[in-house]
Amino acid sequence: MRPLKTLQKLYDEESQVVITEKGSPPRALFSGENFLLENLPVGTRVIFPRPPLAGVPNVKAAIRWAINHPEGMEPLHALLRPGMRLTCVIDDISVPLPPMATPDVRQSILEVVLELCADSGVDDIHLIIANALHRRMTEGEMRRMVGQKIYDAYYPERYYNHDAEDPDGMVELERTPCGSHVVAVNRRVAESDLVVYVNVNFVPMNGGHKSMGTGVANYASLRAHHNPKTIRESKSYMEPGHSELYRRNERIGKAIDKHLKVFHIETSLNNRMFGPGVDFLHKKEEDYTEGDRLKFHAMRYALSKMPRAAARKVLNSIPAPYDVTGVFAGATEPTHAKTLEKSWQQYVVPVQGQSDIVIFPIPFISPYSVNSILNPLLVQVMGLGYFFNLNRGVPLVKKGGVLILTHPAFDEFDPVQHPSYIEFFNRVLPETRDAVQIEQKYEREFAENPSYVHLYRKGNAYHGVHPLYMWYWGENGRQHVGKVIVAGAENNHVPALLGWDRTDTLTEAIEEARGFMGRSASISLLRIAPTVMVDVK
């Protein structure tokens, strides 16, 4: 990297958008379990995350204040009465990413809520993880999430994972006359006098009606919005006004609110993903100190020399020191509106206009690969599903433009967590990549495969239908872009099966993208992670 003094004049320290100039430093980009250090063409727009917002000074006090001053509902203590049946529904390990340093904010919320319940004579309490069709959390993960004390008191009889395939465990609240749309929730939840939803809001897509409508539902309910049609009609998942996904969840959520009393506790986090030692990753490269550069090079070298599994283990073992920036409680919609506001305050960076070519560095982790492997389908969902949708209705890349992802695109799957992904990738994708065809021909088969159902219920596997949902998740991105290039892919067949081009380096990928879009094509890099969203004007 170039000396600091020659760089200082080249950018505005306050701005989150930097235009690459001749003297700009190379960029540190995630590429799976490793990092690339890349010089970008002059004129490339680099969009950086905002600095982390300040956290609330006392998290427990903020939780108490929120549940005593809720939005659109009575305070929590006024809803409690002795002998009532209460269920706390808790967001699962898919958020935040990476998992937060202990104590997890969910533990802090539960400690306050359970204490209040005990004071009010409420002792019929269950804690249910809202894992929907995600994998069951392991005992260790469950203990870490709520702390030893709550774990010892509730696990396993009263602290457990939701089971969407338990034939006696679901209750249908509503069904359309034709039977195509079902609103079903966990039986214990449905039969509770009060439900307290314990949320961690990581991106604006989480929380609100999605919490209950998805978290404790079953396959029959989820089909109403986890389908190619809904995804194609969503301009972004992160902006409710542009999300058909959000609207469908809202319809389901309203039906749930009609039948059940749900007290939501939502929390927003800042984007402090990297703790001491690796906190330079929050900075613009222009701001790196000599120490930061040394640390970066040492880390990059060490990770590149490690076997991939070891690098993964190291990276997964570094928790994120997020701060809680807000706690909001009460009825679903007004509570979520406050959370959204806070979320945008942290993540949104305004940018002028779309770009022809957009670069997304793909990190080692996704919501569906915690303590596991980011397999090819998950690389796809990170690029075309999540990162593509980190906007407020207008994507960063122009219609027909090129997306460049940096990732090795290795052909590795975790047979414990992702058994049905393996079949999907090797059997379905060679036949078709058309999401509608896949839905019609394969969805029921994967969803109902007794082996996958067993692995979901008794093992720690994602539901059989989950890889199809991952494919649908990339659908609006796929429909929008003209080409996807994966830079640094270590093989040909993974990009080919996903319908992508591959190059060895990012420079070659940019060359190819320019060949496709024209020499004067504009280029943007979303320097993620930490999380950043764009508001394209």
State the residues that interact with another protein by CB under 8 A. Answer: 165, 167, 413, 415, 419-420, 422-423, 426, 444-445, 448-455, 457-459
Check whether the bond before 3 is cis (ω within 30° of 0).
Answer: no
C-beta of 232 vs 457, nearer to another protein: 457
| Sheet with 124-130, edge to edge strand ranges | 159-161, 124-130, 85-91, 194-198, 262-269, 324-330
Minimum Å distance from CB 423 to another protein? 6
Q: Quick one: tokens of 25? A: 């430093």
Amino acid (1-letter code) at residue 209: H
CA 252 to chain centroid, in Å, comes to 21
C-beta of 20 vs 420, nearer to another protein: 420
Minimum Å distance from CB 223 to another protein? 15
In 3D, which of 100, 72, 113, 527 has the Cα closest to residue 325? 100
C-beta of 182 vs 273, nearer to another protein: 182
C-beta of 249 vs 417, nearer to another protein: 417
For residue 483, count other CB atoms closer than 10 A to its CB. Answer: 17
Where are the alpha helices (H) located in 391-465, listed in sequence order?
419-423, 435-448, 450-458
Minimum Å distance from CB 448 to another protein? 4
C-beta of 313 vs 454, nearer to another protein: 454
Q: Quick one: tokens of 26? A: 């190379």
Distance CA 160, CA 216 (A): 12
C-beta of 263 vs 442, nearer to another protein: 442
C-beta of 426 vs 479, nearer to another protein: 426
C-beta of 165 vs 250, nearer to another protein: 165
C-beta of 196 vs 461, nearer to another protein: 461
Q: What is the DSSP string of 125-162?
A: EEEEEE-TTSPPPPHHHHHHHH-HHHHHHHTTTTEEE-
Q: Quick one: tokens of 417? A: 């967590």
Distance CA 291, CA 315 (A): 20
Minimum Å distance from CB 219 to another protein? 12
Minimum Å distance from CB 6 to another protein? 53
C-beta of 68 vs 451, nearer to another protein: 451
What 3-state DSSP class applies to 501?
A: strand
Where are the alpha helices (H) located in 275-357, listed in sequence order?
290-305, 308-316, 332-347
Check whether the bond before 363 is cis (ω within 30° of 0).
Answer: no
Do 237 and 245 form a contact (C-beta atoms < 8 A)? yes
Q: What are the C-alpha distances in Å from 178 to residues 172, 229, 252?
A: 15, 19, 16
What 3-state DSSP class applies to 169?
A: coil
Strands 170-175 and 159-161: unpaired
Minimum Å distance from CB 218 to another protein? 13
Where are the alpha helices (H) located in 239-307, listed in sequence order?
244-259, 290-305
Beta-carbon contacts of residue 175 (< 8 Å; ≥ 6 apart): 181, 182, 183
C-beta of 289 vs 451, nearer to another protein: 451
Q: Quick one: tokens of 390? A: 């980190």
Minimum Å distance from CB 228 to another protein? 20
Q: Which residue has the tokens 């690969």?
A: 369
Minimum Å distance from CB 505 to another protein? 31
C-beta of 41 vs 459, nearer to another protein: 459
Minimum Å distance from CB 81 to another protein? 37
Check whether the bond before 530 is cis (ω within 30° of 0).
Answer: yes
Cα dihedral sign for 39, 380, 216, 416?
A: negative
Minimum Å distance from CB 411 to another protein? 11
In 3D, which of 9, 17, 44 has the Cα closest to residue 351? 17
Minimum Å distance from CB 426 to another protein? 6
Q: Quick one: tokens of 369? A: 């690969």
Beta pairing partners, 402: 357, 483
Minimum Å distance from CB 425 to another protein? 9
Beta-carbon contacts of residue 491 (< 8 Å; ≥ 6 apart): 409, 410, 411
C-beta of 266 vs 423, nearer to another protein: 423
For residue 277, count other CB atoms closer than 10 A to its CB. Answer: 10
Minimum Å distance from CB 455 to another protein? 6
Minimum Å distance from CB 144 to another protein? 24
C-beta of 171 vs 422, nearer to another protein: 422
